[in-house]
Amino acid sequence: MALKNIKWPKNNGDPVPPNRSSRFKWRTIVGLLLMYLAVALNWQWIWGVFSLYWIIPDFFTGVTYFIEPVTRKENPFLYWLILITWVAFSVAMIFPSVSSVTGQ
């Protein structure tokens, strides 16, 4: 599959206003620090929290990205299957003892 066939978000080439590019991206920095901390401390639950944070906008926009963009309008079954899968994986990462078959 060629990358040119994927419907990527369009960039119209307008320059970013100076006040927008100079904003401090505190959420991004906190997210990166949490990722570093999660890897260092072997926190599995944080990946579930990040996954939930990443998919919440998909419920409102009707578009999710898994290998390629999938829209609720064009592929409703696949769209919901992906979202349900991400939510299930997120819950399994946040609550591993509940999702464990053996309970250990």
Q: Token pair of 44, please?
A: 């599995």
What was the pLDDT predicted at 73?
94
What was the pLDDT predicted at 87?
93
User: What are the domain boundaries of the chain?
Assistant: 42-104
pTM assigned to the model: 0.65
What was the pLDDT predicted at 66?
87
For residues 59-82, give the mean pLDDT: 93
Residue range 1-49, pLDDT digits in tens: 455 555 655 655 555 555 555 578 888 899 899 999 999 998 888 989 9
Residue range 72-91, pLDDT digits in tens: 999 999 999 999 999 999 99
- Altogether, the residues listed in the chain come to a count of 104
Centroid of chain to Cα 38: 17
